[in-house]
Structure 1
Amino acid sequence: MRGIVVVALLTAVGAGNASAQDAAAGEKVFVVCKACHQIGEGAKNGVGPALNGLIGRNAGSVPGYSYSAANKGSGLTWDEATFREYIKDPKAKIPGTKMIYPGLKDEQRTSDLIAFLKQFDADGKKK
């Protein structure tokens, strides 16, 4: 019986660790995003909009970026759950988006990416 309890505890601890967010690991995930997006002080719009202050921002709202009508009209606010759905399959979440990324399916990498993005306020400064 004691062995079962130990195994259950280790399983629960392992599951908790799997969902922990790691900003340093997220920075490595962001390398793929850099092809289109910038983040941090001095970030500019490129193929995609700058991602400073993403979490909490309305979709389609970065000044100076030419969004698709679908993105601007989506009515979404980027919170963790919404971003998680979007980055898994952008075209499914916002049909008609210009984003051509096929999607990030790995939950842990997504959690890490979110941790990295959350570090930056709207001015690109780390919080």
Structure 2
Amino acid sequence: MDANEVNKVAGAILGMLTLAMGIGFLSSGLMAPKPPAKAGYELPDNSATASSAAAPAAAQAEPIATRLATADLAKGETAAKKCVSCHQFQKDGKNGQGPALWGIVNKAKGAAAGFNYSAGLKDMASKGGKWDYEALDAFLTNPKAYVAGTSMGFAGINRADERANIIFYLRSLAETPAALP
């Protein structure tokens, strides 16, 4: 290949590149994209729907007295097994990471002998009150919301029927079970 042919090939390549760049500049000038007025995407505000969805769910939960009427003792005993790592259920059970739960229904809050309660529960106990059915139901739903500052690391039980079964089982853990509401 002589020098003249090399110049022809190099000129053809440079010509094509110049043509491609020229077409790109020309098309950008003709069809320029419009920048968005506001950067990013608008996300829907779900806070109103989340709170309105939570309100009917809470309103749909039957009272604990109604749920206890259909509670199952065997299912409650099975469901309470998730509590065994911290609590004992025997009559002479010892306090562990949590207090022993024998006779807990209608017992005064913060009254387990020898157990060092969290500051939140000590404060609640100083105001009086018992672990009645409603209090147990509220506590088992979300312990950290019911007792601010509790050291109980359990997230809670969402299902109302499961809570009723556990409370029905806890009721049976006494010499004389508490009267049903």
TM, length-normalised to structure 2 = 0.56
Structure 2: 5+ residue stretches without partners: 1-65
Greater helix proportion: 2
Compute the displacement of 1:48 (Å): 0.2
By relative contact order (CA 8 Å, sep 6+), the higher-ranking structure is 1
Question: Does structure 2 conserve the Cα–Cα contact (< 8 Å) formed by 1:19 and 1:111?
Answer: no
CA separation of 1:17/1:38 partners in 2, compared to 1, >3 Å: closer, same or farther? closer
Following TM superposition, where does structure 1 have runs of at least 4 consecutive aligned residues deviating by more than 2 angstroms?
16-19
Q: Determine whether 1:77 maps to 2:130.
A: yes
Query: Which one has a bigger Cα radius of gyration?
Result: 2
CA separation of 1:18/1:113 partners in 2, compared to 1, >3 Å: closer, same or farther? closer
Question: Does structure 2 conserve the Cα–Cα contact (< 8 Å) formed by 1:36 and 1:47?
Answer: yes
Q: Determine whether 1:52 maps to 2:102.
A: yes
Structure 1: 5+ residue stretches without partners: 1-15
For 1:18 and 1:92, the matched residues in 2 are separated by: 23
CA RMSD of aligned residues (A): 1.9
Compute the displacement of 1:19 (Å): 6.0
TM, length-normalised to structure 1 = 0.79
Of all paired residues, the percent bearing the same amino acid is 30
Aligned positions, number: 109
Compute the displacement of 1:42 (Å): 2.7
Question: Does structure 2 conserve the Cα–Cα contact (< 8 Å) formed by 1:40 and 1:126?
Answer: no
